[in-house]
Structure 1
Amino acid sequence: MASKTEKTAQEILMEDFQTLVSDTERLLEHTATLAGDQADELRGQIHESLVRARETLKLTQDSLSERSKAAVSSTEEYVQANPWQSVGIAAGVGFLIGLLATRR
């Protein structure tokens, strides 16, 4: 089974996007002291964009989670159904990595 502590590029991207949204929300709160119709309109637009971004982020996160669980499940099923073939593939990949690591 895959290690839960390893982070994929998608997870790192999701975390960075969440940080961006949080920072933008804090910026929006700090601009609340600005006055004027344009400032109010700008805050409204930023708020709407943040709401849409959070919804998109949640949908993407759920989709990625479901797909990764399905991939892990199908990989585990394949390895259990074909253990010797899986060992052979792993040995071949290890051999290739070893060859590449020794070449300079």
Structure 2
Amino acid sequence: MPEQTLNNEKEKLLADVRSVLNSTEELLAAAGDEGGEKTKELKTKIAANLKLAKSRLVDAEQIAVEKAKAAAKATDQYVHDNPWKAIGVAAAGAFLLGLLVSRR
């Protein structure tokens, strides 16, 4: 899977998670203070879980960005240190891809 497609999928997933969290917060706010004591307890627990989920989402985003930057830096360094190997690997990949496409 190309890196750009993978990045687009990750961004879409993160946007979907944010959307679900925001919708849940809106539903929780819309419920207001209705209900009995157990309902209020449940709302408090849901709010705490939402806060925790948002915190973990932010942490996961930061880790993903750091890993992506490290991988890009390592790849850039490798290509600069071994330009002919990188060209050879790219050529071999293109050749194999060409074989696969030509068979269909």
Structure 2 stretches of 5 or more lacking a match? none
Deviations 1:74-100 (A, max 9, x none): 000111111111111111111111111
Residue matched to 1:46: 46
Alignment of 1:77 with 2:77, yes or no, is yes
Tell me by how many angstroms 1:6 deviates: 7.0
Residue matched to 2:59: 59
CA distance in 2, matches of 1:44, 1:20: 18
Tell me by how many angstroms 1:35 deviates: 2.5
Query: Normalising by structure 1, what TM-score?
Result: 0.85
Aligned sequence identity (%): 34
Residue matched to 2:24: 24
Calculate the aligned-residue CA RMSD, in Å.
2.1
- The answer to whether the Cα contact below 8 Å between 2:25 and 2:50 also exists between their aligned partners in 1 is yes
Tell me by how many angstroms 1:41 deviates: 1.2
Paired amino acid for 1:59: D
Query: Normalising by structure 2, what TM-score?
Result: 0.85
- The answer to whether the Cα contact below 8 Å between 2:79 and 2:86 also exists between their aligned partners in 1 is yes
- The answer to whether the Cα contact below 8 Å between 2:33 and 2:40 also exists between their aligned partners in 1 is no
Alignment of 1:95 with 2:95, yes or no, is yes
CA distance in 2, matches of 1:19, 1:103: 43
Q: Say which is worse superposed, 38-47 or 10-19, in terms of deviation.
A: 10-19
More helix by share: 2
Deviations 1:1-41 (A, max 9, x none): xx889734333322221111111111111111523212211
